[in-house]
Homo-oligomer: A and B are copies of this chain.
Amino acid sequence: MQVTLKELAARANVHPSTVSRVANNDPGLRIASTTRARIEALLRETEYRPNGVARGLKLRQTLVLAVVIPDITNPFFAALFRGIEDGATPRGYQVLLCNTDGIPERQRAHLHSLAARRVDGVILASTFLKDPTVRWLRHQRMPYVLVNRFSEEGADPFVGSDDVTGATLATQHLIALGHRRIGHLAGQTTVSTGVLRRKGYHAALGEAGIQADADLVVESGFVEEGGGQAMDRLLSLGDPPSAIFAVTDMTAVGAYGAARKRGLRIPEDLAIVGYNDIPLAGRLIPGLTTVHVPIHEFGSVAARMLLEQIETGMLTPRRVVFAPQLVVRGSSVAGADELPMARPAQRSPAE
């Protein structure tokens, strides 16, 4: 149980408002130094901290942000969350974490709760291209920032990477290694990253004069299990691919498993490139060649954008887009893991 202003006021024999002003260091306050001293002593002695709920009601700000993601056990989102918290905590905010498992109804339910709780803002990393909840957030005048994925609703505040370029880099890398039958473990077309990375994949193929083969693109979703299943399908093809561009590192992990099951060697029998450069990528054997994006920075930048929005009260639809960089490891180039590893990516925001 914590002490209240009223109790303190009674003990100091003053009015609660006076205690409040002393506690908040009200600059315009005129008070006898003796009274001030008495109150301050009491504040310290009781370790008074104002009731955040009452304060929130009065001031209309809760100092709480919320992060909505598919699943925190996915290392990508864990790193993202750290970035967000690291950006928010120093400014006095704490962060609610909501997992949706990619289920729209859960996302909707979480956002409704969050709005009712009057969180000061939301960072949404689980949005779909067509996503009514984004329009809804806007309509609620709730500050928000989209991360990694965006929505076609329009010009939302966003931080992410240039997915088309990243996917193009990945695919070009495989082409440069001599591969011609390159498969793609693709994300859903309901999600921006799914669509854009697919687009980058096709762009690189086209540019190299390689005829796209629809059989080589299999929708895997963004996580391990789907990656394994999609890889199985590709490897069952009469003319299977010699290389794979996986829409995320986690689907690439699934592909590793499928390849191993069939006794395929990576990269000799099957080259693999992922996307995101999660910490796990460097620990796989062989190391996973992947497109590096600054995940932690996604989070801290998103937090800063959100706080700016909250403080100015204006929804400035700024988009921060990082340039992705290819990190070559042993999953595409035999022996690459023995070399000093490429240091990827400084910050390079665009637009």
Contact = CB atoms under 8 A, between A and B. Distances in A.
Contact of A94 (B75, B114, B283): B114
B253 A118 contact: no
Contact of A96 (B96, B113, B253): B96
B81 A140 contact: no
B52 A283 contact: no
Interface residues of A, number: 46
Interface stretch (A56-64, A193-201, A212-220): A56-64
A77 to B, nearest CB: 9
A112 interface: yes
A280 interface: yes
A20 interface: no
A24 to B, nearest CB: 14
A43 interface: no
Nearest to A55: B116
B78 A116 contact: no
Contacts of A52: 113, 116-118
A112 B49 contact: yes
A2 interface: yes
A97 interface: yes
Q: How many copies does the complex hold?
A: 2
Contacts of A116: 2, 49-52
A53 B49 contact: no
B1 A141 contact: yes
A259 interface: no
A97 B95 contact: yes
Interface string A81-120: 1100100000000111111000000000010111111100
Contacts of A98: 85, 94
A279 interface: yes
Contacts of A75: 73, 75, 78
Given A50-B116, A95-B97, A78 B73 contact: yes
Contacts of A1: 140-141
Interface in A270-300: 279-280, 283-285
A-B pairs with lowest CB-CB distance, top 10? A52-B117, A49-B116, A97-B97, A73-B78, A53-B56, A52-B116, A53-B57, A285-B285, A72-B78, A53-B118
19 contacts: A1-B140, A2-B140, A51-B57, A51-B118, A52-B116, A52-B117, A53-B53, A63-B117, A72-B72, A72-B82, A73-B75, A73-B79, A75-B75, A75-B78, A85-B98, A85-B99, A94-B113, A94-B117, A97-B97
Interface of A: 1-2, 49-54, 56-57, 62-64, 66, 71-73, 75, 78-79, 81-82, 85, 94-99, 110, 112-118, 140-141, 253, 257, 279-280, 283-285
